Amino acid sequence: MAPTPSIPKAAFWMALSITSFLAMSVAGRATTAELNVFQVLELRSVIGFFILLPLVMATGGLAAMRTQRPLAHIVRNVVHYSGQAAWLYALTLIPLAVLISIEFTTPIWTAILAVTFLGERLSRPRLAAIALGLIGVVVIVRPGVGSADVGHLVVLGAAVCFGVSLVLVKSLTRTDSVTRIIFWMLIIQSVIGLVPALYEWRNPSLALWPWIILIGFSGMSSHFCLARALAYADATVISPMDFLRVPLSALIGWLLYQEQIDAFTAGGALLILMGNLLNLQRRQPKPAEAAVS
């Protein structure tokens, strides 16, 4: 039974989701300062699995996790894992607000891919959204003027991977539950990342474990809270709240890492967010899609 729509409840869950995403960013920077990206992802997947396990047991146990589409899960998680690895690596290279701003191009890439592979219509608002998003990236990166950073390209690649992943998730939600999709995400990504994680494995220091646990927990809670928020209000209400991550990440970057944001980054981020708002006018993602994106 669907919950009764409630803006205050949606705002509450969205605030928790934003807090989780920001906590994951800070924890990601802390953990990757000592451990390699693949080890962080491996620990995140394993910890996330044990956090999810009680929910799996409450929804039918391991038998209910059987899927008829193993290949689709594998392809989706190879792409998603690549995006996560790129995102974490970019976190060590560029300011937090720049990373989050470029990450917000994910809906733009999703729109392009949905037109290409799912046969969705390229309407004028959607075309304008894509154009604004691409212009915003160019403003931030400024190719050819000596300011482009490899981190910009890495996080842009991550955003494209997340867009591909979201399109695949849209297909998976037709047959599999959110819990099943997340279950296989954690299993498959644990397997994918095991060898590269062990290749340069370091025993984490005792002081690092709270950050490791935080990134494992926040990686799960961010998407769970987002799905709960979408259960109480439409995406047209929820997504503009999520845009608060850009100024908040800039504030965190300034307070914790003494990062400065220039006018080009602010202007490019604004164009990207405007593109997202245009894209929202024509499509409202299901809670299931948001939960596992």
For residue 154, how many C-alpha atoms fall within 13 Å in the half-sphere facing its CB? 17
In the chain, % helix, strand, coil (3-state, to 5) comes to: 80, 0, 20
The count of residues in the chain is 293
For residue 215, what are the contacts with CB-CB under 8 A and spacing of at least 6? Answer: 24, 27, 28, 31, 40, 43, 44
pLDDT tens per residue, the chain (293 residues)? 556 788 888 889 889 989 998 999 999 999 999 999 999 999 999 998 998 899 899 988 999 999 999 999 999 999 999 999 999 999 999 888 888 888 888 877 877 777 776 666 767 777 787 788 888 888 887 765 555 678 888 998 998 898 888 778 777 878 888 788 889 989 999 999 999 999 989 999 999 999 999 999 998 888 778 777 877 876 656 666 777 888 888 889 888 988 887 788 888 888 888 877 776 665 555 555 555 65
pLDDT of the residue at 148: 60
Query: Would you state the structure tokens that stand for residue 208, as one six-digit string?
Result: 């690092």
| Residue listed under structure tokens 């050819």 | 144
pLDDT of the residue at 145: 55
Residue from 289, 271, 251 nearest 128 by CA = 271
pLDDT of the residue at 22: 93
| Residue listed under structure tokens 């803006």 | 7
pLDDT of the residue at 31: 95
Cα dihedral 90→43→14→10 (10° resolution): 150
pLDDT of the residue at 236: 59
